[in-house]
Amino acid sequence: MASVFCNAEGILFIDYLGNDKIVTVKYYSNLLARLDEKIREKRPGLQKKKIIFHQDNAPAHKNVLAMGKLRDPHYEFLEHPAYSPDLASSDFSLLPKLKLFLVGQSFSSKKEVIAAVEGYFADLRKNHYRNGIMAL
């Protein structure tokens, strides 16, 4: 499983969950802390702007600890309607075309899969991300 964080300019970072691991509150809270680091590193101008953050209603995402990370003054949380998994922004622009790209390919290792996924995202045009966000 991969957690993909992006904005209108492209991928901020991707975290690949290890085999036999699950998304826990602690894991997700740490992921949000890493997101802050990546924003400072890759998009320093965003530190002075309001960041609209969207996620689904998975239990680890809605936990008090995780939500506390998003209560920072520079985040504005975009509520996700209950029982609406079809409104995940990744379902509009990121994952459908990635699935088509990967179909029919075979990989001999996790590293090969990661390289293919990261290569795919690196080759996307910048407006792909903006268009996907606007479609949401």
| Token duo for residue 118 | 């990261």
pLDDT at 85 over 60: no
Q: pLDDT (tens digit, 9 = 90+) per residue, 20-76? A: 888 888 888 888 888 888 988 988 887 777 777 777 667 777 777 777 766 666 777
- Which pTM does this prediction carry? 0.78
Total domains present in the chain: 1
User: Domain limits at 73?
Assistant: 2-135
pLDDT of residue 15: 92
- Domain holding 120: CATH number? 3.30.420.10
CA pair distance 123, 47, nearest whole angstrom: 26
**Strand intervals (E) in 9-126:** 10-16, 51-54, 75-78
Provide the residue type at 17 as one letter: L
Cα–Cα dist 44/47, whole Å: 6
Position 18 scores a pLDDT of: 83
Kindly indicate the confidence band of residue 104, based on its pLDDT and cuts at 50, 70 and 90. Answer: very high
Strand partners, 76: 52
